[in-house]
Amino acid sequence: MKTFYECSLQHEASVSMQFWDNPTVDGFHSLLMTPKPMIRTSDHVFQLCELVKLQSSCKKLNLLSELMDHSGNYVHTALPFILSLLQRGLGQRIQLLTHSLSPDPEWSVESEAPKHKAQPPLSFGLLLKPDMAVSVLERGPPADSPKAAEFRQLWGSRSELRRFQDGAITEAVLWEGESMCQKQLVPRQIITHLLQLHADIPESCVRYVGAMVDDVIKTGNKVPSTGEEESLLVVKSYDDLSRKLWGLEGLPLSITAVQGAHPALRYTQVFPPVPLKLDYSFFDQEKSCRSLVPKEGKPCPTYITPITVICHMEGSGKWPHDHLAIRHIRAAFHISMGELLKKYHNYTCRPCPTHLDVWKVRISACFIKLSLERCVFLLWKNNPISPTVQPRVLFLSLYLFLGGFWRPSPLLLRPLWWNSDRSCVEA
């Protein structure tokens, strides 16, 4: 027990020093005035209910002598061994394993002492390592290693021999999980398996709280998903388009920067755009503009949010001083860029005065907008369209994203607002 208390104390001391040394944070209020329930300090939380089951755990773990030392208190007897078991099983997946014990009960001397099974559930908190917690493979020692027997004893029937691409044959445990939202609950699979195998604690006695918000935004019929895989496809498609834009030759001015301006490219879009397979029997093809027109009585296709990409062009001293002339030049750039993308990469493009639509695989359409310093300077002046330009420029330069991919626990405790970009911003 001392080891786990020391680890928790060291972690709390380290976090406290970070708060005190940060001049931008009110360390006094954060450390001494803000309550810290376990659900706010841990990524995942679980409870052990029906503590009477720990009696059978003491028998299976051969803790009868320790049970006598604790005057028959099977909760205090089994807890150190359960913590040690979970620490071995979770290993590198967690940064910290904490637990919470209820205070010792008080009773009148004229009444009987309360039963141990009447105590509230035991609470445990997991502070996860993001890069290791979602791994579905637990790779063990080689088959001929002396530690292989210990590995098989820990994992039981879940351990099996596997051959890897490097030619090594080792013991390994493979957990269920195809999408990211399923992989986030791998620690739950580990905990329930170890408690059932070594402590005779059934899964029904484990109340696990983790990734609860994912159930609200989960999509997909065969494989549930919360948008991580779709966002990754969007980012890969954007990277491919960005490389091709950098390699375009024949533009009057070279491209100095390509910038994505969409929440999906920051992994913060709750429902990122996904590919859509059209039923062409619902449409007539307009050959003049290469468009699909819905037939009479047929539904329109599902709207897919375009991904905005901003291309910055190099500066030039030959720009006109009239903003209308600059808009015409920008439209000419859109036409030229669309022709080059069609010529070298066979992309379907549709130039517009304000942007260029590019039909890209796995992205419905990319809005490519040209950013011209001279144009921004002129449009910033007082004119009829400046009120619409200034918010967009401020958005790109001064916007501070506060939410990111959030932890589920703060959503249960603090009010949150959603802005127009589906970014999670704390109220």
CATH top-level class of 228-386: alpha beta
Q: Going residue by residue through the chain (427 aa), what tens digit of pLDDT does each one get?
A: 457 778 888 888 998 898 888 888 888 888 888 888 888 888 999 999 988 888 888 888 888 888 888 888 888 889 989 999 999 999 999 999 998 887 777 888 888 877 877 788 899 999 999 889 989 999 999 988 889 999 999 999 999 999 988 888 999 999 998 888 888 899 999 999 999 999 999 999 999 988 777 777 777 666 677 778 888 888 998 899 899 988 888 888 888 888 888 888 888 888 888 877 777 788 887 777 667 788 888 887 777 788 888 888 887 777 777 878 888 888 888 898 889 988 898 888 888 888 888 887 434 345 566 555 444 444 444 455 555 544 554 444 333 333 333 434 344 433 333 333 333 333 2
Question: What is the per-residue pLDDT for 418?
Answer: 35
Tokens of 427: 């109220």
Question: What is the per-residue pLDDT for 32?
Answer: 84
Question: What is the per-residue pLDDT for 150?
Answer: 92
Q: What would the CATH number be for the domain defined by 35-105+113-136+175-217?
A: 3.30.70
User: For residues 89 and 154, is the Cβ–Cβ distance under 8 A?
Assistant: yes
pTM reported for the whole predicted model: 0.72
For strand 307-313 and strand 363-371, is the pairing parallel, antiparallel, or unpaired? Answer: parallel
Question: What is the per-residue pLDDT for 253?
Answer: 83
The CA distance from 124 to 361, in Å, is 45
Question: What is the per-residue pLDDT for 187?
Answer: 94
Domain boundaries, the chain: 1-32, 35-105+113-136+175-217, 228-386
Question: What is the per-residue pLDDT for 87?
Answer: 93
Question: What is the per-residue pLDDT for 220?
Answer: 65
Question: What is the per-residue pLDDT for 190?
Answer: 95
